[in-house]
């Protein structure tokens, strides 16, 4: 029975064989690697992955799709909202130190998923995600560009990232109204140690009025915290490199 894509789950199923091969090549799965796929859908990416790794854990919210996936002997199915999945517990359950995480993420909740995984980064070897190209442009953006923002800073602090593959709308059924791309995210081995919530709050304040100089936003926030250190607030938020935001969070 044909599965009808559900709008509420943001379902767009990958159907282009060449693109699928390109994604699998970018991931470069090897036998025995502990891999978790988010949103396997109709298993277009799942099947070539499981053929290479042998066993695969998949996270699927749609119960009809989850039921189909359970029929596959090499899949362990977690039927759940990915935002409720404890990836640290998944790694413990599989008795492995690190997971390789992949998936075609639902565009309507892609950013919350990225921040959820940030909380479990210590058990992640790498991540390969298909996302809206616009989101990946923001993830990998450099300072002093219009795409550079909160997402850029929070993720670049913790990951080395690159846009590895462009995916046009016609590669999906049904085609989305946006271009897509695949991003590779590799956790940094020695990230700057700091409370993530503090950096998140700091960056959120900085970019709350990105057209204004930071003295109007971050400057006042720092004054309220009685910050006595040095930080140039005569700049706009997008002009400050990731390393400076991280250093400021550490100083606080």
Give the pLDDT confidence score for residue 7 in this predicted structure. 44
Annotated ligand binding at 163? The verdict is no
Length of the chain: 252
Element (H, E) at 64: helix 63-70
Taken in order of first residue, the domains within the chain and their CATH numbers are 7-187 (3.40.50.150), 196-251 (1.10.8.100)
Annotated ligand binding at 104? The verdict is yes
Q: Is the pLDDT of residue 10 over 80?
A: no
User: Can you tell me the distance from the alpha carbon of 58 to that of 52, in angstroms, rounded to the nearest whole number?
Assistant: 15
**What digits encode the pLDDT tens for the residues 231-244?**
999 999 999 999 99
- For β-strands 124-132 and 75-79, DSSP reports them as unpaired
Average pLDDT over residues 136-148: 97
Annotated ligand binding at 137? The verdict is no
pTM of the model: 0.90
Share of the chain above pLDDT 90, in %: 84
Annotated ligand binding at 238? The verdict is no
Annotated ligand binding at 248? The verdict is no
């Amino acid at each position: 029975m044909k599965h009808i894509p559900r709008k509420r789950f943001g379902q767009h199923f990958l159907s282009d064989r060449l693109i699928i091969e390109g994604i699998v090549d970018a991931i470069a799965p090897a036998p025995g690697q502990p891999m978790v796929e988010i949103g396997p859908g109709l298993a277009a990416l799942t099947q070539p992955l499981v053929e290479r790794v042998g066993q695969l854990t998949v996270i699927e919210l749609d119960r009809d799709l989850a039921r189909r996936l359970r029929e596959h002997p090499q899949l362990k199915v977690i039927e759940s909202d990915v935002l409720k999945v404890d990836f640290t517990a998944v790694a413990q359950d599989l008795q492995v130190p690190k997971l390789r995480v992949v998936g075609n993420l639902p565009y309507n909740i892609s950013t919350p998923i990225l921040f959820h995984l940030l909380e479990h980064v210590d058990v992640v070897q790498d991540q390969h995600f298909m996302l809206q190209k616009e989101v990946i442009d923001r993830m990998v953006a450099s300072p002093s560009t219009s795409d550079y923002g909160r997402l850029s800073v929070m993720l670049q602090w913790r990951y080395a990232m690159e846009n590895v593959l462009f995916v046009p709308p016609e590669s999906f059924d049904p085609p989305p109204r946006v271009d897509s791309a695949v991003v590779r995210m590799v956790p940094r081995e020695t990230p700057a140690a700091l409370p993530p919530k503090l950096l998140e709050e700091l960056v959120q304040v900085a970019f709350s009025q990105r057209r204004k100089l930071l003295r109007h936003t971050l400057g006042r926030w720092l004054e309220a915290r009685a910050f006595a250190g040095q930080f140039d607030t005569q700049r706009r938020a997008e002009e400050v490199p990731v390393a400076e935001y991280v250093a400021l969070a550490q100083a606080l």
